[in-house]
Structures are given as structure tokens and as C-alpha cells.
Amino acid sequence: MKLNIAVLAGDGIGPEVIDQAIKVSNAIAEKYNHEINWTPALTGAAAIDAVGEPYPDETHAICEAADAVLFGAIGHPRFDNDPSAKVRPEQGLLKMRKKLGLFANVRPTFTFPSLIDKSPLKRERIEGTDLIILRELTSGVYFGERGRKDNGNTAFDTMTYTRDEITRLAVKGFELAMTRGKKLCCVDKANVLESSRLWRETVQAMEKDYPEVTVSYEFVDAVAMRLVQWPSEYDVIITENLFGDILTDEASVISGSMGLMPSASVGTKNKLYEPIHGSYPQAAGKDIANPLATVLSAAMLFEDFGLTTEAQTIRDVVNKSLEEGYVTEDLADGGESFKTSEVGNWLVKNI
Ligand code: IPM
Ligand code: MN
């Protein structure tokens, strides 16, 4: 297969972890006779510095033309404590999601047998956890009407959803559930929010089309609690943008390190793969960041193009590195650890 992939390394540790995912993907391409063309493009603070805009038109054109996008991370501390900044790296991410039509964000949470005792949660609570949070990504309060009034003393953000936006996300949720444990949980706040009531109503009306799927409806506050109590009870969760943002960070610690969890964003036009961690500026340039979340994101990419063996080869070699303790310092418990690039080289050698 021939794949054209846009590479948006972004900020902080983005470029370092992306390098490892590229090395691993190239090794896979060589082993299974594929051809991958990588086209780098600017995004985030790096793009603001270069051209004054976090998601330049040129970057969008490269992403649109590509079969898929591999994304590192964006964000820079100099913007975080400056509410007056007019242009922010995160705006680039939101613009990109919207312009590429990436309405469904797939964030899996699973455990690695060799790491199960690294989780802050007890083994018996997390064993067998294999859930996917499907987060709506291009609507809701992130994209609703917002502003200031009352001479700047009142601020508002609004959460709006249309039935169509909920339906297309829910279709993906039902379809995903059909390929897995056939359980779907719709997470909302329908006891308070009108938009949540529309979510519930819409999903309820779809149940008859998927008779094999067991559907449940839970409030987001209760799910925040149950996710750390009994995460293994969930299969596929569908939820709106902001709830999904919060729950996926929460779920990411179940596995023991945020540096492990991959994600995919899919929708109408394109597909994007990225680690769920951020730009981790404190570690930038030090060659210490864990590259596995990005490497596993590349595995999700291969899987989505039907290259199941290739994806499994990546997951197997990642598992092997964890079992053999060939890990970055976040997973080393103060013991022997390896550099980002060393882990990447080890993976390549063992493919
Ligand atoms: C994420 C991030 C983004 C989000 C930020 C950086 C805008 O937290 O991808 O989860 O809130 O969606
Ligand atoms: Mn987030």
C-alpha cells in the first residue's frame, strides 16, 4: 500500500515522539512492503512563531491532500498564563479538527499486563479494562457562541448540539460497540442540561437499529466516579466534547502512564492520529519523553487502513519493550531507563 501522511510534530516533546513513530512506521513499511511518504507541516506555537498562525492554510492543504495526519502535541507555557494572548496554539488544534471534519475522537483505555501494578488503582479494579471513549470533537461548548458583556464583567460560553451531530457520533459508537463487547454507554447530564436531553432522546431512538447492543445512560458525574471504581465494566462510551475531554484524561491514568495512550480522530474527510498527552514542555529537547503513545497511535493508523498485521506487530513490539523493561524514565520506577530515541531504535530493531 502507498500512504501519504502529513506530519504535524508541533510543540514541546511533539517532534521527539513523532520521530520515533516515523522510524517505527518506516520499519513496518519495509517489512511488509508498503511505501510511506511523510510530509511535514507546521502547527502550534511553532507555527505561530514562523508565520503568526497556529494552523496555517498551507498546513491545512497538506493535511487535506494526505491520506492521514500524524500529530504530535501543541501548547507552550508562554501562552498559558497570558489570558490576553490573541493567538493561541490550541486555536490551531480546534481549527484543524473543524476544517478536517474530525467529529469523532476515539480514545481507548486498556491495561498492559506488565504494567498493571504501576497504575494508581488497585490491580483487581483495573484488570481486564478495555474501553473506548468516543468523544464528540467539533461541536458543543468548544465551538458554541461565546463572548463578554456587561463591560467585560460577564463571560459566556454556550453548549449547542444538533440532532445530526449527535446521530453521526452515535452511529460510530453503535458500530464500534458491535465490533467489541456490544455495550454502549451514553454519558450526559440530562438531569440538568437541555442539550443532554437531546443526546439521550437521539440515542434512545437509535437503539432499535442495533438490537444486539446493550445501551445504558449515565450522568457524567457518576461516570467520573465509576471510571476509577470499576473501569472494566465499560465497553464503548459516547459523550459530548467537554465531558469527553475531562473523562479521557481521567481514564488515561488507569493504564499507569499518560505516555502510553494513543488516539484517533475521524470524521467526514480525514483521519488524524495523536498521543493523548500534551506537549510536556518541561521535558522538551531532553530525549526523555515516552514515545509509546505516539507509536501506538501509528498502530491505530495502520489498523484503520486495514493493515491489521502491521498494527499488531507494532503493539507486540511495544508490549515486548514493556515486558523487558526497555522503557523511558516515567515507567522505570527509579530503575534503569532509556532515552526516547533509544526506545525508538530498540523498537525498530525488534520489528
Ligand atoms: C485534548 C486537549 C485539547 C482539548 C486542548 C489542547 C484544546 O486537551 O486534545 O484533549 O481540550 O480538546
Ligand atoms: Mn484534553
Taken in order of first residue, the domains within the chain and their CATH numbers are 1-100+270-351 (3.40.718.10), 109-257 (3.40.718.10)
- Which pLDDT value is given to residue 310? 98
**Pair 71, 100: CB distance under 8 Å:** no
d(CA 220, CA 247): 8
- The label of the residue with cell 473506548 reads 132
Please report, in tens digits, the pLDDT of each residue of the chain (351 residues total). 999 999 999 999 999 999 999 999 999 999 999 999 999 999 999 999 999 999 999 999 999 999 999 999 999 998 888 878 889 999 999 999 999 999 999 999 999 988 998 889 999 999 999 999 999 999 999 999 999 999 999 999 999 999 999 999 999 999 999 999 999 999 999 999 999 999 999 999 999 999 999 999 999 999 999 999 999 999 999 999 999 999 999 998 898 888 899 999 999 889 999 999 999 999 999 999 999 999 999 999 999 999 999 999 999 999 999 999 999 999 998 899 999 999 999 999 999
Task: Please report the atom of ligand 1 found closest to the CA of residue 105.
Answer: 9
Ligand 1 lined by 245 (C-beta under 6 Å): yes
d(CA 96, CA 54): 9
- The label of the residue with cell 471510571 reads 227
d(CA 149, CA 151): 5
**Contacts with 301 (C-beta within 8 Å, 6 or more apart), sequence order:** 5, 25, 68, 70, 264, 271, 273
Q: What is the pTM of this model?
A: 0.94
- Output the residue whose Cα is nearest ligand 1's atom 6: 90
- Which pLDDT value is given to residue 299? 98
CA distances from 251 to 21, 22, 107, 120, 267 (A): 23, 27, 9, 11, 23
Q: Where are the beta strands (DSSP E) in 41-169?
A: 68-73, 104-110, 130-136, 146-149, 154-157
d(CA 47, CA 92): 9
Query: What is the whole-number distance in angstroms between the Cα of residue 40 and the centre of ligand 2?
Result: 24
- Annotated ligand binding at 97? The verdict is yes
CA distances from 42 to 15, 79, 270 (A): 11, 18, 18
Ligand 1 lined by 137 (C-beta under 6 Å): no
- Which pLDDT value is given to residue 160? 98
Ligand 1 lined by 93 (C-beta under 6 Å): yes
d(CA 95, CA 101): 10
